[in-house]
């Protein structure tokens, strides 16, 4: 009974934020003169119309669950990793290289190798800002954002330069070996294992965060660095480990996405790293919650296209939902802080007659 209560409490705020988003979004649609019923039905049908559409949404949730988990673990340690995007891209770069190079390997070796390489490159791409943060106290917010753009331009260079498949009109890399294509789990769909591997990762991450010593360290550093230090935890090492894990998760996501698309393109991530932040925040940085929020955002992503087709609403409309949800959750999960100390200062001022 206690457990149910706790779960209900945990779910209440995200549910409220979602409800607010759909209410405000619906109102906006109505005000703009669109048929709200048609629009919402299009959103729903995009995922739940039939098995095929459902598998499309599952696939779309795959990159987001990985970037979401990447952000979640970083945020738990109070490391503001804004670079899941770049780490995702480097994961895709690593996977492309492996998939194009080791074409003699059988698929059951090549695919895991791609994912591992992707994770390694993602971690590597996170290592630099992490190092700058712990060694020189440089804010990771800016460095990770900058490195996103470096990664993006590096892909641009690769697909226009050395890796360019000149038989294609648009800049893209050569395809990876056919045995490296992610296998289809269901006939006549393109369903692959990405999201399911993401679920396994989510459960592992939950275990790591709440049942292991490293997880305890991560959470301790995230809650209060100074207190964690007093308790004998090396905040620097913990943050470094967190960023490496975070980058590896994002990189895995990129590698899997590449295995699903089969070749590298500049637009391989339409902002999956940023969506990861949204997904994680909505799940209050809980890995298990991300299983659901990533699916929700995957469904919104599928819904975007059909919203435009069925109701004539811009596909970007779903981003309005997402934005409102995050602001809602950011407001709902506020901690009452410092207010008392500020009051104390004010009263002191009054007493002394300053100002």
- Reading the block at residue 318, the tokens are 């779903």
In this structure, are residues 214 and 208 in contact, taking their beta carbons and an 8 Å threshold?
A: yes
- Reading the block at residue 7, the tokens are 């779960």
Report the SS3 class of residue 31: helix
Q: Least Å distance between CB 144 and another protein? A: 10
Nearest CA among 181, 185, 176, 178 for reference residue 58: 185
**Cα–Cα distance between 182 and 190 in angstroms, integer?**
9
Residues 6+ apart with CB under 8 A from 233: 217, 220, 221
Nearer to another protein, 104 or 334 (CB): 334
Nearer to another protein, 259 or 303 (CB): 303
Interacting residues toward another protein by CB under 8 A: 28, 32-34, 80, 82, 128-129, 132, 136-139, 141-143, 145-147, 149-150, 153-154, 156-157, 160-161, 274-275, 277-278, 281, 312-324, 326-327, 330-331, 334, 337-338, 341-342, 345-346, 348-349, 354-355
Q: Least Å distance between CB 180 and another protein? A: 25
In this structure, are residues 78 and 226 in contact, taking their beta carbons and an 8 Å threshold?
A: no
Q: Least Å distance between CB 47 and another protein? A: 19
Nearer to another protein, 66 or 317 (CB): 317
Q: Least Å distance between CB 246 and another protein? A: 15
Nearer to another protein, 80 or 310 (CB): 80
Q: Least Å distance between CB 3 and another protein? A: 28
Nearer to another protein, 78 or 260 (CB): 78
Q: Least Å distance between CB 65 and another protein? A: 18
Nearer to another protein, 136 or 213 (CB): 136
Both ends of the chain: CA-CA distance in Å? Answer: 54
Report the SS3 class of residue 47: helix
Nearest CA among 244, 262, 108 for reference residue 176: 262
């Amino acid at each position: 009974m206690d457990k149910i209560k706790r779960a209900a409490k945990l779910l209440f705020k995200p549910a409220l934020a979602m409800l607010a988003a759909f209410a405000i979004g619906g109102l906006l649609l109505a005000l703009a003169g669109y048929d709200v019923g048609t629009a919402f039905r299009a959103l729903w049908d995009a995922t739940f119309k039939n098995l095929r559409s459902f598998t499309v949404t599952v696939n779309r949730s795959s990159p987001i669950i990985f970037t979401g988990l990447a952000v979640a673990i970083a945020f738990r340690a109070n490391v503001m990793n804004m670079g899941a995007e770049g780490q995702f891209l480097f994961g895709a770069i690593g996977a492309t290289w492996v998939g194009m190079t080791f074409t003699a390997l059988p698929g059951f070796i090549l695919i895991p190798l791609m994912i591992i390489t992707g994770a390694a490159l993602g971690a590597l791409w996170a290592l630099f800002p992490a190092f700058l943060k712990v060694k020189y106290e440089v804010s990771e917010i800016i460095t990770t954002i900058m490195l996103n753009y470096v990664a993006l331009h590096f892909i641009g260079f690769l697909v226009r330069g050395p890796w360019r498949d000149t038989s294609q009109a648009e800049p893209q890399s050569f395809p990876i070996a056919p045995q490296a294509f992610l296998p289809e789990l269901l006939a006549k769909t393109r369903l692959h294992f990405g999201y399911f591997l993401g679920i396994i990762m989510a459960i592992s991450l939950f275990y790591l965060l709440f049942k292991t010593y490293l997880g305890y360290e991560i959470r301790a550093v995230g809650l209060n660095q100074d207190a964690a230090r007093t308790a004998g935890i090396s905040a620097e090492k913990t943050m470094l480990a967190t960023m490496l894990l975070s980058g590896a998760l994002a990189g895995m996501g990129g590698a899997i996405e590449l295995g699903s698309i089969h070749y590298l393109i500049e637009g391989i991530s339409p902002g999956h790293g940023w969506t990861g932040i949204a997904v994680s925040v909505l799940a209050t940085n809980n890995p298990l919650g991300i299983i659901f929020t990533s699916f929700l955002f995957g469904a919104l992503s599928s819904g975007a296209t059909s919203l435009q087709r069925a109701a004539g609403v811009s596909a970007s409309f779903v981003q309005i939902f997402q934005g409102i949800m995050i602001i809602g959750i950011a407001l709902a999960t506020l901690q009452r802080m410092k207010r008392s100390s500020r009051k104390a200062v004010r009263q002191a001022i009054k007493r002394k007659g300053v100002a």
